[in-house]
Amino acid sequence: MKNQLFLLQIVLILLFSCKENQEFNLNSLDNYSLITFESENLFPEGITFYEKSNTFLLSSYFKGAIYNLDSKSELSLLFQDENLISPAAIAINAKKNYLYVANGDAGVSEKSNETTALKIAGVLVYDLMTKKRVEYVDFTNLSDEVKCYANGLTLDTKGNVYVTDSHRPIIYKIDGQTNEPSVFLEDKRFGGEDWNLNGITYHPNGYLIAIQMSKGILFKIDLPTKQISKIQLDENIIGADGITIINNNQILITQAFEIKEEKMTSGALKLIETEDDWVTGKMIAKNAEIALNPTNSVRVKNEVYALNSSIGAYLFAGKNQNNYSLVKIK
């Protein structure tokens, strides 16, 4: 009888897993909708969802601030800070009600200047209950390399924060208890030309998956051993920016741009799947029609919201943009 119950449990798990994978269909045009909103030259880069206020939080790459986006698609300023210049990825520690913001100066913010452009990297920590800054964690002096920019960010189950640097071949760590910064991992494989390490996520099986943007590579990083392995993909995803776990075997890549005929496109959303715990991965779905430089995405229950930033097509091209959207994928 025990063996029969065990086999039944295995069958149910397998059926649930298959159902979970099938429900997320990036190819179906009936499976998504656009949430539009307006703000003059907002250029949002990072996104997360705060359950207690039922709002999305967005980081503005140009204005150097954090905004609320409510259910009526109305924006309101949440955090304004002189140290925020070009904030990128953002994430919430729900137990502490802390918001973590990866920050640097990409040289295109209205706050950019010669002394800070590509020369600062850090994380600002805010208390979402008191609406005050808790701490500024500075990585700038953790390396002798001057050029730096803190870009991707993720939390593990212990509240430790892992942050990528797009110009140094480094992943930083912020201790979940003390907020002390350190170099978690430095490796030449993370380096390259222009923008390198970018999106990063914590996988429930106990490792990190990080994007190397200029080469289109995904790395799997074991937390206890710090062992790095390159995930073998069926194609490199040059221009990959953000990464969101859909389930243990699927990730959504927000690709800020693709390279076609030696030109940058407006990007794509790509669903990558593995059958061997991210030793290898294969693209099983792609949608470029609904993409306008998507930078990051967030999962909210059974739905995913991808952020169309317009940064590549407009901000880096010196153009104004007032219209933005979230792609809601069921």
Place of tokens 């994430």: 91
Q: How far apart are CA 25 and CA 318, in angstroms?
A: 35
Closest CA to 110 of 146, 84, 132: 84
The CATH class of the 34-329 domain is mainly beta
pLDDT at residue 14, as a whole number: 39
Could you tell me the pTM of the whole model?
Answer: 0.92
Q: How far apart are CA 143 and CA 121, in angstroms?
A: 11
CA end-to-end distance (rounded Å), the chain: 39
Question: Per-residue pLDDT tens for 258-298?
Answer: 988 778 889 999 999 999 999 999 999 999 999 999 999 99
pLDDT at residue 30, as a whole number: 66
- pLDDT average, residue stretch 175-179: 95
Domain boundaries, the chain: 34-329
What are the start-end ranges of the H helices in the chain? 2-23
pLDDT at residue 330, as a whole number: 80
Q: CA 141 → CA 41, 42, 177, 182, 286, distances in Å?
A: 32, 30, 21, 10, 40
Question: Per-residue pLDDT tens for 77-135?
Answer: 999 999 999 999 999 999 999 999 999 999 999 999 999 999 999 999 999 999 999 99
